Structure 1
């Protein structure tokens, strides 16, 4: 079992003299961690539950088996969308450079999950040499080969675009078009069309599709059917929604439904 004396304060893990450290923390639905950053890079991961994470540059919805890589120094805050069992790791900044300097969602393989949980069975300052050191090196190896999931909601800075994006995030199934959004925020449709790629790197429709993907992941993890999700998000049919999903992710929603229904190896969570 994990060491009961382990702190749940992320600040206590930043200067532990080990390349990789692991933190266990649980959060009830609706808990929000205020904006903060770390000296170390972080793999923000929950074995159960849903999390919403936001930085100045983007928003991510993280269901189980997905984690967010956050480079050191990046300010972020998160909210538990459901009850969450967080089992996250911190990587010393020097060792973390190989994984890039931008946030990205990665697939958490069954092996990576078990390695993280196993490291929590070790003392925070695990002996070197020893089992903890081997686990840490294996975690870095798994991270190096981890698949990136192309889901991210880039966040703008222009106040008009922030108003539009916030409204779409609040109601992902809204049927309003860009002309209607423009009227609401006091801008022309042409201005918004120009601002989307300038501020987010995505065209309007691409940005909305990223919101739909994030919402779909959340609803799939909650057990909703593809038909229910397609209807909620305003697609003409489940097949139209599935086609969009597969075009961007290379896999169908049914693939993820099947994956999440498969039981994970039992382990103290």
Structure 2
């Protein structure tokens, strides 16, 4: 099933519906939700998934688990996806919030096979076994830390979303506090209570997340300078601490000939 609409097949009596879709660069899937849980795998490119609770950046060859009935939007940066839409009752273990996970070779090959199914594939033969094995493999995945939380208050969330769109190393706590008509101390205390992080720590992590799509087309040195780091080494150290992998693993050279990053361990 490729480039078909979920709405056209959601009624089909199958626990797992696999769909493969190609998107033009920069395509935005605006706010929407699915009745089913979704396993969204980016075979190429980078995806940025937003919900009211946070933002998840999905590097190449990774996936994001999206809970059923979660309002979300997705920005596709050169992405070809392989999605599984899954009946919620079949996955009581599904996470309650979006979760980025690794996609090892077996899971990737199962996904590539599944999107070749007919919509009414046989549930008890080979195709049904692949669908069942897909769920076992997804349940075994561990979460990856490619996200930042968003504050529930609309004024703070607006600040954060604007920063995620255009991360500016020159922004200060004082500037953010002034925009919310609060003292810097009161603003910092409120921000920490809503996100669990200080504004400065939150902005530093947001900048590192912004680096993931930038590394697709730029070198580590270029991205380090764009983010205001004193040196590529300082950027590499911060990125590796945050995500467990050096930024070079996300450049086209690090993935080898511009293809997907097939390595999954630091």
TM-score bracket relative to the smaller structure: 0.7 to 0.9
Instruction: Show the counterpart of 1:110.
Output: 105
Instruction: Show the counterpart of 2:222.
Output: 228
Instruction: Show the counterpart of 1:133.
Output: 128
Instruction: Show the counterpart of 1:153.
Output: 148
Which moved further from structure 2: 106-115 or 167-176? Answer: 167-176
Tell me the number of residue pairs that the alignment of Structure 1 and Structure 2 aligns. Answer: 259
Counterpart contact for 1:193–1:204, Cα < 8 Å: yes
Instruction: Show the counterpart of 2:169.
Output: 174
- CA gap 1:11/1:235 in 2 versus in 1, 3 angstroms: same
Instruction: Show the counterpart of 1:199.
Output: 194
Counterpart contact for 2:40–2:64, Cα < 8 Å: yes
2:87 to 81, 92, 110: 92
1:9 aligns with 2:20: no
- Return the alpha-carbon distance in structure 2 between the equivalents of residues 254 and 16 of structure 1: 43
Shift of 1:252: 1.7
Instruction: Show the counterpart of 2:18.
Output: 22
Instruction: Show the counterpart of 2:264.
Output: none
What is the TM-score when the length of structure 2 is the normalising length?
0.88
Tell me, which stretches of 5 or more residues in structure 1 are unaligned?
none
- CA gap 1:209/1:142 in 2 versus in 1, 3 angstroms: farther
What is the TM-score when the length of structure 1 is the normalising length?
0.87
1:75 to 71, 77, 87: 71
Instruction: Show the counterpart of 2:238.
Output: 244
Counterpart contact for 1:52–1:59, Cα < 8 Å: yes
- Return the alpha-carbon distance in structure 2 between the equivalents of residues 29 and 242 of structure 1: 27
1:164 aligns with 2:164: no
Instruction: Show the counterpart of 1:46.
Output: 42
- Return the alpha-carbon distance in structure 1 between the equivalents of residues 66 and 111 of structure 2: 16
What's the C-alpha RMSD, in Å, of the aligned pairs? Answer: 2.2
- Return the alpha-carbon distance in structure 2 between the equivalents of residues 219 and 94 of structure 1: 38
Counterpart contact for 1:227–1:238, Cα < 8 Å: yes
- CA gap 1:143/1:158 in 2 versus in 1, 3 angstroms: same
- Return the alpha-carbon distance in structure 2 between the equivalents of residues 209 and 69 of structure 1: 25
Which moved further from structure 2: 46-55 or 225-234? Answer: 46-55
- CA gap 1:237/1:259 in 2 versus in 1, 3 angstroms: closer
